[in-house]
Amino acid sequence: MSTAIQVATANDTFVHEGLFYHDDDDYLAGTVPFVAGALAAGEPVLVAVPGPNLERIRTALGPYAAGVRFADMTRAGRNPGRIIPWVLNAFITEHPGRHPYIIGEPIWAGRSADEYPACAQHEALINAAFTGRPATILCPYDASRLTARVLADAHATHPILVERGARRPSPEYAPLDIVAGYNRPLPVPDGPVVTREFEDAQALAALRELVAAEGRLVGLAGDRIADLQIAITELATNSLTHAGTGGVVRVWRTGDELVCEVQDRGKLTNPMAGRLPPPPTSPGGRGLLIVNHLCDLVRIHADDDSCTVRMHFRR
């Protein structure tokens, strides 16, 4: 996967900070003054954190909470690939000529092993998504519950670190290393897999029927089956358009999820694909953006010979 992208530095107009907190009081000490200072400056504020932390901040702000937009990150950012385009960029774009302040907590102790690599890549790609744009994003990390690896990754994805009131540059800042390091082959499915090859657009209807049937078996609701059909159409169309030779669809069930992936011989060279919307006049470039919006989790592995996009839909 190509890493020819610009990333934010400690001196950029865009500010991306990692906040390490150790208990509830520490959390509020690091977040509430951040919000209060932005409100005092008359700037827009978004707080997108997991539900319990969201309520802690809202309660601590008292009447000032009315001036803040809140979002439960366990819903808005359940798929980490959804956060940059549909949460952060949407809020920043909504306030042209301003300097938005955002608290975004995409990584918490309940994140699964499947979700975490996408979370780490998301945090790294924030720096490329918003470099040069006026905005400040503060990302809290629970230093008492998250693993040493997660905290080390946070040092690599944030140019500025904040802990117990002290603010300093991160000497380990290397976001492109995180993007590349988590671009690994995806885990092999454990259990039966339904496989279908496709070579042209005439196969799209059959692929939609296939995933709908599998979705019903796992208990997906009707609207989620419709989302799944849209997502598989977008990915298969991308394969036909960019790889030129079609590809392979694999579908399997695991617990309360339906997992579906599309693999082709194309090359995904832009790690930002699906993270930011293309210009309004662009005729394409929205496939992965739509897929990220619809899925509960999207994982991607790209190398010199192929690209695999894996989608998770929860019951």
For residue range 186-230, what is the model confidence (pLDDT) as tens digits?
Answer: 999 999 999 999 999 999 999 999 999 999 999 999 999 999 999
Q: Sheet harboring 307-314: ordered strands across?
A: 194-198, 247-254, 257-264, 307-314, 297-302
Domain CATH for 150: 3.40.50.300
Count other C-beta atoms under 10 Å from residue 56's C-beta. 17
Specify whether 86 is located in the same domain as 134: yes
Exposed / middle / buried, residue 129 (Cβ in 10 Å: 0-12, 13-18, 19+): buried
Query: Is there a single domain that holds both residue 147 and residue 36?
Result: yes
* Verdict on whether the full-model pTM lies above 0.75: yes
In a domain, 9, yes or no: no
In a domain, 138, yes or no: yes
Joined together, the tokens standing for residue 142 give 């629970």
Shared domain check, 154 and 18: yes
Do 173 and 30 have their domain in common? yes
pLDDT digits (tens, 9 = 90+) for 234-269: 999 999 988 778 899 999 999 889 999 999 998 888
**Same domain, residue pair 278 and 166:** no
Instruction: Give the tens place of pLDDT for each residue, 120-176.
Output: 999 999 999 999 999 999 999 999 999 999 999 999 999 999 999 999 999 999 999
pLDDT digits (tens, 9 = 90+) for 77-131: 999 999 999 999 999 999 999 999 999 999 999 999 999 999 999 999 999 999 9
Q: Is residue 4 part of a domain?
A: no
Distance linking the first and last C-alpha atoms of the chain: 32
138, 155, 181 - which closes a domain: 181
**Residue 90 belongs to what domain range?**
14-181
* Residues 24 and 135 occupy one common structural domain: yes
- Residue 12: band (very low, low, confident or very high) from pLDDT cuts 50, 70, 90: low
Let me know whether 150 and 76 are in one domain: yes
Q: Are residues 154 and 222 in the same domain?
A: no
Q: Which of 126, 152, 181 is the last residue of a domain?
A: 181
Do 157 and 27 lie in one domain? The reply is yes
Residue 3 included in any domain: no
Residue pLDDT, tens place only, 163-189 = 999 999 999 999 999 999 999 999 999
CATH of the domain at 228: 3.30.565.10
- Please tell me whether residues 56 and 93 are part of one structural domain: yes
Residues 119, 55 share a domain: yes
Q: Are residues 26 and 163 in the same domain?
A: yes
**Strand order through the sheet with 101-104:** 69-72, 45-49, 101-104, 135-142, 14-21, 160-163, 166-169
Structure tokens at 217: 């078996």
Q: How many domains does the chain have?
A: 2
- Is residue 5, in this structure, part of any structural domain at all? no
